[in-house]
Amino acid sequence: MEKKLYVGNLSYDMDDSQLEEAFAAAGSVTSAKVMADRMTGRSRGFGFVEMATEEDAKKAIEMLNGKELNGRALKVNEARPMADRPPRDFNRDRRF
């Protein structure tokens, strides 16, 4: 069963293929995605990696959590499910 991992403190120069390559050393990577800002397209400094098995995911956490990659110490842990958020009221959020 696939296991999704949260990867924080990524270098802003990191892309999806580099993230996948870093995690491939721990096992089979199903997908790797660096999250980007919608407006600028620039990395937001975190991403998600899906490992093929739970064992691969545990190995990736052990191997890569705290490891320095591109000058930054990675934070790797099991991803939490996305929480439901209420719809935004854009009229209320206007600040001009």
Q: Residue 21 is part of a domain; what is its CATH number? A: 3.30.70.330
On whether residue 57 sits in a domain, the answer given is: yes
54 is in which domain, residue-wise?
3-72
On whether residue 93 sits in a domain, the answer given is: no
- Predicted TM-score (pTM) of the model is 0.82
On whether residue 92 sits in a domain, the answer given is: no
On whether residue 60 sits in a domain, the answer given is: yes
pLDDT in tens, 28-87: 999 999 999 989 889 999 999 999 999 999 999 999 999 999 999 999 999 988 777 777
64: its two tokens: 């890569």
Q: How far apart are the first and last CA of the chain?
A: 48
Q: Please return the burial class of 5, using the count of CB atoms within 10 Å of its CB with bins 0-12, 13-18 and 19+.
A: buried
